Structure 1
Amino acid sequence: MYETLEIERVGGVATVWMNRPDVHNAFNARVIADLTAACKALDEDVSVRAVVLAGRGKSFSAGADLNWMKAAGAASESENFADAMRLAGMLRTLAEMSKPTIARVHGAALGGGMGLASACDICVASEKAVFATSEVKFGIIPSAISPYVIRAIGERQAYRYFQTAERISGQRAVEIGLAHEVVAADALDAKVAEIIDALLQGGPLSQAAAKDLIRNVANRPIDDSVVEDTARRISQLRATPEAREGLDAFLAKRPAAWVPESGPQ
């Protein structure tokens, strides 16, 4: 279905493999279009419980394809704006998926690749992973990825790394909030599977509501409108079939209906 991606499905988990290993899974217009379409399709698929984003070959994603960047340099400002909007739209589509998303970062995640890792809900990195916002080395800025990277690492760290373009190790990525876990290369898939097992225990509608809650509460002052909003959200969810099933399952000491029959995968 996608020229630059491979989609693997195991149970309720879809793994989206960026599949341009010869160019380290760098972005071009086709990759951006494919990722946008894949995220939309998987988000609408009720059989999908979680999405893992990964890269074939040595790298997770090395950012923008150099040939694509050269073409953009020769294009008009309006054409550049249209290109940038498509990239920004892809990142937003990934970041706003209702399903849990995990970035599986085994190698380089540079520029836009670091943006993809930041846009996912959860990032698991190998000890061999390396991140960077390398754009200033090319005379540009990490503009489209900035909302997601700053959300992950905060303004203070962004002031450093947006300007220095320093390489960030997997361990350093955990320290600054970019990655949730860093593990040995041969333990990467096991750690991703462990997190997926935990995700599959939660109710899908409540997980989507939890993501929306974070987006609406983060970085807002705790005023009357926030307090009222949070009260309304929980009162609405308590009356749903999913909430009733969750409580019934807990009291009966049985798995909830949404938990895979085989238990943790």
Structure 2
Amino acid sequence: MFETITIETDARGVATLTLNRPEKHNAMSGKMLEELTSAALQLGQDDSVRVVILTGEGKSFCAGGDLGWMRAQRDMDPETRGKEARKLAEMLQALNTLPKPLIGRVQGNAFGGGVGMASVCDVAVGADHLTMGLTETRLGLIPATIGPYVLSRMGEAMARRVFMSARLFKAPEAVTLGLLARIVPSNDLDAAVEAEVLPYLSVAPGAVASAKALTRALGPKIDDEIIDMTIQALVSRWESDEAEEGIGAFFDKRKPSWA
């Protein structure tokens, strides 16, 4: 059914949603974004599913945007770029509003959109060796469509430490920033995730869904107006001279003019 992700559900109703492009470090393509959105809707409507675990196959959780997808966007007009940005925004919102507990099993590095995906999890547990980073400004772009979820997770003060600088940070700092609830050695990751899953198997699924919806209603607003604003902000950056230089330098394997 899916080409870029897999879903496996055990007898308890614990579904594991896995990004399945290990050869690309689970980088997000337009196809993957569409499939993740579809999967979130499918899992949300499945009464047999009690908990969803989000993880990645291979060494990386998610390396951000797929290079081929980004290269294609260089030649798009603003309207088409906006449609591609909306795919990411809709995927994140679908996972963020999933009426099931979403547990992140972050087994490897996460950059850009991968940080956004960790941010929409209700709780994320990470391997202690991983590296994370919001790397968009290296390309002259900004972490726009993922921004509302990253800010909601970190808070503005914490986000300012890493949102604009594109610096990479290790697992312990990811905990300090609020992206990860805790970190454990890789060999202990499954057990740590299982510890997060178990409480949900003894509580009322409908009450969990209602409680989750309430937390979102009481938390920072992420509605159509906010999403549209972030999409427009990203499209505007794509049109900038800095984006042309930064993305060109990246594909040419050279330093951009400002480095």
Match of 1:125 in 2: 126
Q: How does 1:41-190 map to 2 (within 5 A)?
A: 41-190=42-191
Three-state SS of the structure 2 residue aligned to 1:164 is: coil
Match of 2:257 in 1: none
Deviations 1:84-117 (A, max 9, x none): 1111001000000000001110111110001000
Query: Aligned pair in 2 of structure 1 residues 219, 149: CA closer, same or farther (>3 Å)?
Result: closer
Distance 1:36 1:120 in 2: 14
Distance 1:194 1:21 in 2: 26
Displacement of 1:168: 2.0
Runs of 4+ in 1 over 6 A off after TM superposition: none
Give the conservation status (yes or no) of the 8 Å contact 2:9–2:16.
yes
Three-state SS of the structure 2 residue aligned to 1:194 is: helix
Q: How many residues align?
A: 220
Query: Aligned pair in 2 of structure 1 residues 106, 74: CA closer, same or farther (>3 Å)?
Result: same
Amino acid at match of 1:6: T
Structure with greater contact order relative to length (CA < 8 Å, sep ≥ 6): 2
Q: How does 1:191-202 map to 2 (within 5 A)?
A: 191-202=192-203
Deviations 1:139-162 (A, max 9, x none): 101111111111111111222211
Three-state SS of the structure 2 residue aligned to 1:114 is: helix
Deviations 1:101-142 (A, max 9, x none): 011101111100010000111111110122111111111011
Three-state SS of the structure 2 residue aligned to 1:216 is: helix
In the alignment, does 2:28 pair up with 1:12? no
Distance 1:196 1:165 in 2: 33
Name which one, 1 or 2, has greater alpha-carbon Rg. 1
Instruction: For structure 2, list consecutive stretches of 5 or more residues without a partner in the other structure.
Output: 222-259
Match of 1:260 in 2: none
Instruction: Give the alignment's TM-score, normalised by structure 1.
Output: 0.81
Cα RMSD (Å): 1.1
Identity across the alignment (%): 40
Query: Aligned pair in 2 of structure 1 residues 219, 56: CA closer, same or farther (>3 Å)?
Result: closer
Distance 1:72 1:95 in 2: 26
Instruction: For structure 1, list consecutive stretches of 5 or more residues without a partner in the other structure.
Output: 221-265
Amino acid at match of 2:144: S
Three-state SS of the structure 2 residue aligned to 1:143 is: coil
Give the conservation status (yes or no) of the 8 Å contact 2:21–2:57.
yes
Three-state SS of the structure 2 residue aligned to 1:131 is: strand
Deviations 1:158-189 (A, max 9, x none): 22211111112111111121111111111000
